[in-house]
Structure 1
Amino acid sequence: MIASSGALVLTLAACGGDSPEVVDPGTPTQDVSTDDGSSTETDTTGDAADATTDDAGDDSGTETETDSGEQAAGTPISPDEFITLLKSPGMENMTSFTLDMNMGMDGQSMIMKGAADLSDGTAMDIQMEVPGAGNIHMILIDGDAFMSMPGVTEDGQFIQMPLEEFMGADAEEFTDQVDITSQWDDWEAGAQEVTFVGVEDVDGEQLNHYELLLDTSKVESEDMAGMPGELTYDVWLDDQNFMRQVIFELEGVEAVMKMDNWGEPVDIAAPDAANIMQMPGMPTGR
């Protein structure tokens, strides 16, 4: 059950993290409007008066597009443009990242924090807080899982086994979905609408908020088996178009996933041999 909980967390995280935009909104529309307003107030020439009149006569100018042609709040964009925007930082810069996820269900929260490095295989170091199970530490390197669990291992000790032994049939799906860019094809195939919601403050940063409505019937993927007909993903990108936050709800479970430190080195290492327990009846690492 503990293994299934861990797989569910990362599976949901991956579902919520595959995607988003086109033209970087950059400076918020309201900021541009403020700048334009101040310039006309200080200019006393006839041209300035004309400019003020033009601005006042066209209210849509500040609601749909900035003076520089950037996207404004409420602007729809095409799914293709959205995927292009997501890929614009360069896939080579998205092989490592840190993550922080919170899944809320029935008044309880499952929390996951850690780092992943997909540059050479799949390596992860994840700390999970699972209701009813306590704090779980999982390290995945070269196909082997190292787990530290209350009631199963001693403090600071790990058990080791191949991931496929630990998670069974979910192992391959688990490793595929750790790469949160792996489902962008699904988003591109099934996206009905993508809307730039606006620039918002998230943890003290100004991030660009997008909303994606997904038609799951148009996605030819086993990941969508049993999913509702439509799913809505809220996605926030930074000024370099790195995905920084994804929020979605599925069957009453709200998942909030935050990502950071894209492309930066992460330190993921197997536990010392002295900290690996040998447990009777349990499969061991290779």
Structure 2
Amino acid sequence: MFHKLGLTAAAVGLVLVAGCSTPAPAQSQQAPSQPSASSAAPATSAAPQSSPAQPAGDSAIDDFVAKVGNGLDGVKSYHLKMSMSSAGQQMTFEGDVDAADPKHPNQHLSMDLGKMTIEMITIGKDSYMKGLLGSGWVKVSEDVASQTTTAEIDQSKWLAQNKDAFKKVENLGTESVGGANTTHYRLTLDAAALKDLGSDAGASGEVAYDAWLDDSGLMRKAVFDLNTGKAPLKMEVLLTKVNEPVTIKPPAKFTTMG
């Protein structure tokens, strides 16, 4: 699942996000390098042809995980958009990522947490935040940055870790997502067997994980619906503008965290 866009308090599944302990919300200002919003809504072709479900045996899972992992090859930039609802709270995340250096990606993300709006710019090892520590831009320490937001789209590790939870894999046919040709897969998982939900989650029954992979195996869209347990969670992630030019710049004015 777009396994982490961890925000100040991590979480689970598709993007690992949970609650957030932060100061009172500050008014958002215009960022100096505002990420371009993705205008392309995921388009769906009419009535895709479904193929029979495959038992989630080792080979079926391994093939799917390998396909997802290989899909990351050659990805240098992208636009990420995520929406999440949990316990009556709606959150959205959106921004551009320059992943030419995958170990230190440059990114500009905006996060609407309902009662608070936060922006974060990361360039190499330098990170700047606005909205979390006040209304202006603040250059934060690596420790603070590491606990806040990182966009990571490698789902192969999460899939492999939760391999035992897979019950079946279905190919639901081809669809267009954000202008890209994709194949729609539906994975059915055992909620109780998901390793990163925690023993107190109380989740049980089947969980649907829908993934749209393009011809290279890159996951262009994913929807995770955990509708059981103590904290039902639904996430949708959309990846667009893959390998299109993107420029991430530091804010023109900022203070340094003391």
Q: TM-score, normalised by structure 2?
A: 0.65
* Distance in 1 of aligned mates of 2:12 and 2:122: 15
Shift of 1:138: 0.8
- 1:259–1:241 distance in 2 versus 1, CA, 3 Å: same
* Distance in 1 of aligned mates of 2:82 and 2:193: 28
Task: Give the conservation status (yes or no) of the 8 Å contact 1:246–1:256.
Answer: yes
1:53: which partner in 2? none
| Among candidates 130, 154, 166, match of residue 191 of structure 1 | 166
1:14: which partner in 2? 15
Shift of 1:159: 0.7
SS in structure 1 at match of 2:154: coil
Letter in 2 for 1:180: D
1:126 aligns with 2:127: no
Task: Give the conservation status (yes or no) of the 8 Å contact 1:75–1:196.
Answer: yes
Structure 1 unmatched runs, 5+: 17-27, 32-62, 64-71
1:245 aligns with 2:227: no
| Among candidates 120, 124, 131, match of residue 142 of structure 1 | 124
Q: Which runs of 4+ in 1 moved over 6 A?
A: 216-219
Structure 2 unmatched runs, 5+: 18-44
Letter in 1 for 2:154: I
Structure having the higher helix fraction is 1
1:225: which partner in 2? 198
- 1:131–1:178 distance in 2 versus 1, CA, 3 Å: same
Shift of 1:195: 1.2
Shift of 1:164: 1.3
- Alignment coverage as a number of residue pairs: 213
Q: Following superposition of structure 1 onto structure 2, how do residues 47-196 of structure 1 map, counting pairs within 5 Å?
A: 72-76=50-54, 78-89=60-71, 91-106=72-87, 108-120=89-101, 121-133=104-116, 135-149=117-131, 152-153=134-135, 157-166=136-145, 170=147, 175=150, 178-181=152-155, 182-188=157-163, 190-196=165-171
* Distance in 1 of aligned mates of 2:132 and 2:9: 19
* Distance in 2 of aligned mates of 1:104 and 1:217: 20
Measured on the aligned residues, the alpha-carbon RMSD in Å equals 3.7
Q: TM-score, normalised by structure 1?
A: 0.59
- 1:186–1:161 distance in 2 versus 1, CA, 3 Å: same
